[in-house]
Structure 1
Amino acid sequence: MPRELTPSSCTPLTLAECIAQLDEHGFEPADERSLQHAASLLAGLAANRGFLGDLMIDLLAGAEDQASGYGPQAIMLAGPRKGYFLRANIWPARGDPAFQASGAASFVYGLPHDHNFDFLTVGYFGPGYVSDYWEYDYASVSGEVGEHVDLRFVERSRLREGRVLHYRAHRDVHCQHPPESLSVSLNICAANPAQGWFDQYRFDTEAGRIAGVLNASANEVLLRLGVALGGEDARHCAEHFATHHPSAAMRRVASGMIRSE
């Protein structure tokens, strides 16, 4: 499951202070010092109990334009920069109007999945969502839908206020469930241009299989359209990609297109 971290400091930080320090030092999750430094910054931001409410009011009043909506449940606090981005996630309970209007799928509840990037998260407000956690070996699978995966169940636990977790790319799988009441988490997410070449999967945990790929890239779509609309050169490109492209996802897509002809 995600690694639980104990920050060395929880001194309250403003959003500007947190961003400035992350900009100065970056976020490199493979580096233990960088990881621990970022965890302390995230804990410090979470210790600032008023910053997010004030920011939301400023957004509604039109006085703040640096943060922007990121989806049906997220607020971007700092866009991609220096190897990271910073966001706040809103987690409605089952009885909340947003859940009733949009349904569980809009908030990724009940969807076992991994991530193709590392990120830190901390419980900021409310009891926190509950997750079932598994681990698996990304390198051991080819990514075919229906492929068997050795998912190892770890535990079910809650992201309570102040708890800091490190979600590890291509290793930690979780299935989130709605909190008992409205909750908020804060994330520092790694932002690497290369991560788009790596698959993110959803899983059938009962059958222990890959149920789908969540992040089909624009390049995959372009290849499909190019082959469908093009001539021999497009087919030759697909054949070359099927055996030589450095991305396993692109090799798999190209191979499937060739087999289907």
Structure 2
Amino acid sequence: MNRLIFRSTQELNEAGAGIIVGLLQTNPKAVLGLATGSTPIGIYEELVKSHRRGLVSFRSATSFNLDEYVGLPPEHSQSYHYYMQQHLFSHIDLPASRANIPDGTAADLAGECERYNKLLDDAKQIDLQVLGLGHNGHIGFNEPDQSLVSGTHVVTLEAATREANARFFDKPEDVPTHALTMGVGTILKAKTILLVVRGADKADIVFRALTGPIKTEIPASLLQTHPNLVVLLDEQAGRLFS
């Protein structure tokens, strides 16, 4: 595990983007696993800047997003399809045909999970998986449980997760109750995992996830088993490590 703590948000964003840019410069056909939420926005902004400066191209790359809400159409302002268009895809040269996101409006959700798993299997391996961290230790939308699902699956979102995401919706009851998410097994198959955590409210859970017992009740604790885990923390999130 390579754990880095940054004094400023800008330094963290630049470091995260730099890792991705470096990968694409050495491997233009890299497969990227992408996350959503507030955590990676600054990193995506830096990627856009690097692309506009001609430092990096995405035209030969492929991406797979971690998750999507069930029931939100792609044009919904809180869908992850919309998020990715707003923050990254519409600003870079990644072909739309290789920007993969689960379809939360599929009539057959189990079939959609199978389709997404097939795409992931065909891609062989994600070269770099970007992750955030939920307050309850979830990664993707893999919630704490007695056991965890390996592949893409439908998950019922915990009340704490829905509460944390309610700020993005007009009313708390508008937050979807279910999501499609890449499984922990798929996440752990990535060659490199880039875990990005910000804020004092995440200090306790990231410390427990990375130093405590490995257990499915804290899904992120399984990241301790990964041979190439890079952790980027701001000072507030990383305060318990000092």
Give me the TM-score of the superposition, normalised by structure 2: 0.27
Structure showing greater radius of gyration is 1
Q: Report 1 or 2 for greater relative contact order, CA contacts < 8 Å, sequence distance ≥ 6.
A: 2
Higher helix residue share: 2
Give me the TM-score of the superposition, normalised by structure 1: 0.26
